[in-house]
Amino acid sequence: MKKNKFTGNILQACFLVFGVAVCMPGLHAQKTSLTLDLSKPGAAVSPMLYGLMTEEINHSYDGGLYAELIRNRIFKDNKTTPEGWSLVKDNAADSAAIKLMATSEEHIPYDERNHAINGALSTCLRLTVEKAAGRVGIANEGYWGIPVKPSTSYRASFYIKGTARTEPPRWPWEPKPTTPPLPEIANNTPGPITVSIESNDGKTVYATGTINLEKSIYWKKYELTLTTAAGVQPTKDARFVISTDRVGLYYFNLVSLFPPTYNNRSNGNRTDLMQMLVDMKPKFLRFPGGNFLEGPLITDAFPWKTTLGPLESRPGHKGSWGYRPSDGMGLLEFLEWTEDMGAEPLLAVYAGYSLSGDHVDAGPLLKPYVDDALEEIEYVMGDTTTYWGAKRAADGHPEPFKLKYIEIGNEDWFDRSNSYDGRFNQFRTAVEAKYPQLICISTIADAQYPQIKVTSGKPPAVLDEHYYRNSWDMWENASQYDTYDRNGPKIFVGEWATREGAPTTNLNAALGDAAWMTGMERNADLIIMSCYAPLFVNVNTGTATAPKAWQWDSDLIGYDALNSYGSPSYYVQKLFNQYLGNKIIPVTAQNIPVQNRPLTKKDSADGITSKTVPTIFYAATINDTTGTIYLKMVNTTAKKQTVKINLTGIEKVSPEATLTVVKGSKPDDTNTITDPVKIVPVTSTIKGIKPAFSRTLDPYSVSIIELKTGK
Ligand code: AHR
């Protein structure tokens, strides 16, 4: 690998952009040039260079990719109030109420007992109708609205039972009810129950149907399809209502509503978001986290076993980002999502450290966690003769999933007890003993945390590095991998992003990302995998009944209940993967202009008085079968910059090339839910290409040139 030469920067002309001196080659300065050496094949580009990272954050699944539309479907999101639910009374003379039942597993009041469906569905919602002068029911507001689209069929299902009143105490010594006795009301519950998707004021019904509630004191699941008419205007200002016009006590649980899903999976994903991901052509999906893997406490780690099987057996769990995940997106759903994208799973297993700082010591105490991880791996890749492979087959996927990488934990550099060395080795030894073909990834990067890295046993084969930076930091560090030791572990950049813009990133962040990615691409023999994070954000700000949807600013893909859009960073990600060869082309750069970087507090403390960073970034790869060259160049400044491009070691190049550009007029230009395509790639044909040609880069732009050498 040739070193970059940011040499000979004769800075003749400087001007101010946003208060920062940008120094450009002046009249007498030498021209900026990039020389691509095609005389011999360069190092191979890792075939898994670009993938995705995901976790339940920012309502990535519930209220995001996972297509379920009902918020709080098993009533466990909040112990004190039926979050997302409200009472519907169409007539002022109606007398009715709703109540959350049996919310505390430690103490269930006497009169709230006997309503569990099973251990997972132990909480429910009761609708008491004492007087039904008109329609009475329960409404769900969805995840910041229910999306209504024309000619669309929605699968609705719910458990319901209707009774007159609860049974009186059987024995005199039983505790007295803590709440006022239920009204004595006629048991009129059997009969039609109306189910509808309607406007929030109830005046417009978009789709409706009925089920016939049987006379029974037992839970029963009812299912129906609701279909909208062709002329319906798309809206998210809608709610889901289950209603009656008869008095009685009605109990509800596991209320579900699914729109059409990607690949028609019954417990599947939103089609628009899936399409955006499929378009990125990711090679792998890192899941289930992130912090979501670890949980706040050791007992909150991703409970993969209770995310399997029918929804009836999924209680959900605490989560790591302030809301309770339904776990509708369970282990099998992660795997099927991966499959639907044509990607490979990169499974992170819980390694005995959680966010609060507690850890489980290596040794006998950790063994159950290691065993649990082995079982999880068996669920993913075991054949159907194994216990967990058979379970996967029973869950509907007999074919084992391809698996190569296992990540042991997440960000274990936070564990300052120095326990990771022992924990990692215990996991690695067990995983390799059972699955010698698997590669274990350490979450502590040598370069970032030399004092706490894994030192026992052989060095980890792969290290996961995480970088959340601003664009200056990205520009300053874009060359960091140029000097990494090629004889050490491979690098997985398992989380990274330029954090500018909210909720999704802006153009400046995309320029930071692109610069950083050129660095990864120039070193794509060392960087075997990388994935941006976080991937998703529900962009809803708070409402009277629902909190702000996101916890983390600067995300890749934004959406509400109805629409979705890609940030400028999304398009950069997509293009970098789309235009990628299989061999690195060594590039020599000359006279790359630099700009002054404002000093940070740390710089000043370290006695640094001035700092410059390049203004142009670049990488080139070639597909050695087709001879197509992919040259990527980033201009981070407000001015056009001309680059001379020399192709050495080839005799001919097609005079026409394809140019794809992402650009904007100012750094904080961005896409939003209401202005989703302000910054998108534009592709054109450029002419006059020769083995030596010049290209002027637009201000604030990422340019990708596809050159045909006609090999
Ligand atoms: O991507 C957001 C969070 O950043 C991840 O959950 C965690 O791994 C990292 O600290």
Token pair 């995300």: residue? 555
Which candidate, 642, 629, 577, places its Cα nearest to that of 276? 577
Beta strands across the sheet bearing 85-89:
85-89, 136-140, 238-244, 191-199, 205-213
DSSP per-residue string spanning 363-392: STTTHHHHHHHHHHHHHHH--TTSHHHHHH
**Ligand 1, from 292, 410, 499: best to mutate by most atoms within 8 Å of Cβ?**
410
Helix (H, G, I), strand (E, B) or coil at 431: helix
Please state the atom number of ligand 1 nearest to the C-alpha of residue 497.
1
For residue 204, the tally of other CB atoms under 10 A from its CB is 15
Q: Residue 425 burial by CB count (10 A; 0-12/13-18/19+): exposed, middle or buried?
A: buried
Q: From ligand 1's centre to the CA of 292, what distance in Å?
A: 8
pTM of the model: 0.94
Burial 58-92, CB ≥16 within 10 A → b, else e = bbbbbbbbbbbbbbbbbbbbeeeebbbbbbbbeee
Which candidate, 678, 710, 630, 637, places its Cα nearest to that of 506? 678
Q: Strands, E, within 438-575: which ranges?
A: 439-442, 462-469, 490-498, 527-532, 536-538, 557-559, 564-566
Cα–Cα distance for residue pair 469/500, rounded to 1 Å: 9
Task: Retrieve residue 411's tokens.
Answer: 């960000």
Q: From ligand 1's centre to the CA of 216, what distance in Å?
A: 48
Q: What pLDDT shows up at residue 177? A: 65
Q: How far is CA 671 from the centre of its chain?
A: 18
Element of type H or E holding 630: strand 628-635
Q: Is the CB of 55 under 6 A from ligand 1?
A: yes
Q: What pLDDT shows up at residue 2? A: 34
Cis peptide before 649 (omega within 30 of 0): no
Q: DSSP character for 148? A: B
Cα–Cα distance for residue pair 408/489, rounded to 1 Å: 15
Q: Which residues, 6+ apart, have CB-to-CB distance to 237 below 8 Å?
A: 145, 199, 200
Cα–Cα distance for residue pair 439/693, rounded to 1 Å: 44
Q: What are phi and psi of 553, to 5 degrees?
A: -75, 160
Cis peptide before 699 (omega within 30 of 0): no
Q: From ligand 1's centre to the CA of 627, what distance in Å?
A: 39
Q: Is the CB of 289 under 6 A from ligand 1?
A: yes
Q: From ligand 1's centre to the CA of 552, what distance in Å?
A: 9
CA angle 672, 677, 680 (to 5 degrees): 120
Please state the atom number of ligand 1 nearest to the C-alpha of residue 468.
4
The answer to whether residues 203 and 237 touch, using CB atoms and an 8 Å cutoff, is no
**Ligand 1, from 320, 498, 552: best to mutate by most atoms within 8 Å of Cβ?**
552
Mean pLDDT by runs of 10 across the 711 residues of the chain is 33 38 49 96 96 98 98 97 97 95 88 92 96 96 98 98 70 69 73 97 98 92 98 98 94 98 98 98 98 98 98 98 98 98 98 98 98 99 98 98 98 95 98 98 92 94 98 97 95 98 98 98 98 98 90 98 98 98 98 95 91 97 97 98 97 96 98 98 97 98 96 65
Cα–Cα distance for residue pair 117/220, rounded to 1 Å: 10
Cα–Cα distance for residue pair 670/662, rounded to 1 Å: 11
**Ligand 1, from 55, 496, 530: best to mutate by most atoms within 8 Å of Cβ?**
55
Q: From ligand 1's centre to the CA of 290, what distance in Å?
A: 5
**Ligand 1, from 495, 553, 557: best to mutate by most atoms within 8 Å of Cβ?**
495
The answer to whether residues 529 and 46 touch, using CB atoms and an 8 Å cutoff, is yes
The answer to whether residues 223 and 168 touch, using CB atoms and an 8 Å cutoff, is no
* Closest CA to ligand 1's atom 5: 290
Strands 191-199 and 205-213: antiparallel
Q: How far is CA 257 from the centre of its chain?
A: 22
Helix (H, G, I), strand (E, B) or coil at 476: helix
Which candidate, 329, 304, 271, places its Cα nearest to that of 55? 329
The angle, 0 to 180 degrees and rounded to 10, between the axes of the packed helices 387-394 and 367-381 is 50
Please state the atom number of ligand 1 nearest to the C-alpha of residue 289.
6
Q: From ligand 1's centre to the CA of 533, what distance in Å?
A: 7
Q: Is the CB of 552 under 6 A from ligand 1?
A: yes
Q: What pLDDT shows up at residue 437? A: 98
Q: What pLDDT shows up at residue 545? A: 85
Q: From ligand 1's centre to the CA of 466, what distance in Å?
A: 9
Cα–Cα distance for residue pair 526/45, rounded to 1 Å: 9
Helix (H, G, I), strand (E, B) or coil at 530: strand
Q: Which residues, 6+ apart, have CB-to-CB distance to 104 below 8 Å?
A: 79
Q: Which residues, 6+ apart, have CB-to-CB distance to 657 below 8 Å?
A: 685, 686, 689, 705, 706, 707, 708
The answer to whether residues 481 and 525 touch, using CB atoms and an 8 Å cutoff, is no
Q: Is the CB of 152 under 6 A from ligand 1?
A: no
* Closest CA to ligand 1's atom 9: 290
Q: Is the CB of 290 under 6 A from ligand 1?
A: yes
* Closest CA to ligand 1's atom 2: 534
Q: What pLDDT shows up at residue 41? A: 80
* Closest CA to ligand 1's atom 8: 290
Residue type, 699: P
- Cα Rg, the chain, nearest whole Å: 29
Q: 128 - beta bridge partners?
A: 97, 249
Q: Is the CB of 555 under 6 A from ligand 1?
A: no
* Closest CA to ligand 1's atom 4: 290
Please state the atom number of ligand 1 nearest to the C-alpha of residue 291.
6
Which candidate, 222, 231, 302, places its Cα nearest to that of 257? 222
Q: What pLDDT shows up at residue 28? A: 42
Which candidate, 395, 284, 301, 291, places its Cα nearest to that of 347? 284
Q: From ligand 1's centre to the CA of 294, what distance in Å?
A: 11
The answer to whether residues 622 and 711 touch, using CB atoms and an 8 Å cutoff, is no
Q: From ligand 1's centre to the CA of 291, what distance in Å?
A: 6
Q: Is the CB of 556 under 6 A from ligand 1?
A: no
**Ligand 1, from 60, 286, 468: best to mutate by most atoms within 8 Å of Cβ?**
468
* Closest CA to ligand 1's atom 7: 290
Q: Is the CB of 60 under 6 A from ligand 1?
A: no
**Ligand 1, from 411, 415, 535, 554: best to mutate by most atoms within 8 Å of Cβ?**
411
Q: Is the CB of 573 under 6 A from ligand 1?
A: no
Element of type H or E holding 217: strand 216-227
Q: What are phi and psi of 259, to 5 degrees?
A: -80, 180
Please state the atom number of ligand 1 nearest to the C-alpha of residue 411.
8
Q: What pLDDT shows up at residue 25? A: 43
Q: How many residues does the chain have?
A: 711
Please state the atom number of ligand 1 nearest to the C-alpha of residue 534.
1
For residue 683, the tally of other CB atoms under 10 A from its CB is 11
Helix intervals (H) in 469-506: 471-477
Q: DSSP character for 437? A: T
